[in-house]
Structure 1
Amino acid sequence: MTPEAMADLHARCFTTPAPWSARDMAALTEDPLCFVLTTEQGFLLGRAVAGEAELLTLAVAPEARRQGIASHLVRAFLDEARARSAETAFLEVSAKNAAALALYLRHGFAQAGLRRGYYATSDGQRIDALVLSHPLSPAAESSK
């Protein structure tokens, strides 16, 4: 999937936070610490560094949702994070994105923090971000 296709899909999926541009996507895919996982109808961008993996964004075409694509991408992210020696994975999600929150909780993530008013909407409202984490190694699990 090209950075342009990723940006187009991201814009179809997100208004808050603001969609990422093709330039943003290209910069991330060129970063050796980042990785992109794709399917025909979706993609996930992740990064792994210093024992941590971050799920940067996940987008699935609206017409292809509820078919297991996001679950497949999250599982692949966790596998890739482990392969890159990450001990913990984390992400942030809008407190108002119930579908995404349910997906991540179903895959073993748990709330680790709260960023009040983190996202700004186009009409000036502020939305909290939930920080979620997932232990990937026995050491990370025991320190939980």
Structure 2
Amino acid sequence: MLDDYLSWKPFFEVVPIEIADCAEISELHGQRFPRRWSDGEFQNLLLQHSVFGFVARQTNAFFSRPLGGFVLSREAAGEAEILTVAVNEKFGRQGLGWRLMQAALREAAARGGESMFLEVEAENRAAVQLYRKLGFEKVGERPAYYTGPGGTRSTALVMSRVLR
């Protein structure tokens, strides 16, 4: 019985974001990025027809359904972009980023997107590696784009992939 408990792994379902998720998404965003987007900012984005997203919720938790991660995207006139994506640090390296990105890619294509763009901090090696595995290629750079703690500046990579 103890071995079953110790080998227990969380299971997640990926479902569309709802307005009710905004406070929890904002909290996770603040844990993963230097500037936290407020729940109001997420709500305003989700009220736009072109914006969509997904959350990964743990399905086998005992008392709640913890948020494992989320992705927020937009599609307009054949171009889609990832606005933000985050995975809870305690659920990292379990494929949640991959699953969330796959959901966003499928939805963007279903909405008529022909290509998808994203920006990622060049030093975020894990994210850059994930995006490359998903078929994204670097199409540009924005030097000193991000401001980190203490005012440090870092480069953003602009990446793109074809959806069709």
CA distance in 2, matches of 1:2, 1:81: 21
Larger Cα-atom Rg: 2
Q: CA deviation at 1:30?
A: 1.1
TM-score of the two chains, using structure 1 as the length reference: 0.90
**Letter in structure 2 aligned against 1:6:** I
Report whether the alignment pairs 1:79 with 2:96: no
Report whether the alignment pairs 1:21 with 2:38: yes
Kindly tell me the number of residue pairs found equivalent between the two proteins. 135
**Letter in structure 1 aligned against 2:69:** G
Structure 2 unaligned blocks of 5 or more: 1-19, 58-67
Report whether the alignment pairs 1:106 with 2:125: no
- Report the 3-state secondary structure (helix = DSSP H, G, I; strand = E; otherwise coil) of the residue aligned with 1:56: strand
Structure 1 unaligned blocks of 5 or more: 138-144
CA distance in 2, matches of 1:66, 1:122: 25
| Residue deviations 1:8-60 (CA, integer Å, cap 9, x gap) | 01111122xx2211111111111111001111111100000011000111111
- Report the 3-state secondary structure (helix = DSSP H, G, I; strand = E; otherwise coil) of the residue aligned with 1:31: coil
CA distance in 2, matches of 1:95, 1:6: 24
- Report the 3-state secondary structure (helix = DSSP H, G, I; strand = E; otherwise coil) of the residue aligned with 1:2: helix
RMSD over aligned CA atoms reads: 0.9
Q: CA deviation at 1:122?
A: 2.8
| Residue deviations 1:48-76 (CA, integer Å, cap 9, x gap) | 00110001111111100111111001111
CA distance in 2, matches of 1:20, 1:94: 17
1:136 corresponds to:
163
Runs of 4+, deviation exceeding 4 Å: none
Which of 117, 139, 144 is the aligned partner of 1:117?
144
TM-score of the two chains, using structure 2 as the length reference: 0.80
| Residue deviations 1:65-91 (CA, integer Å, cap 9, x gap) | 111111001111110110010111000
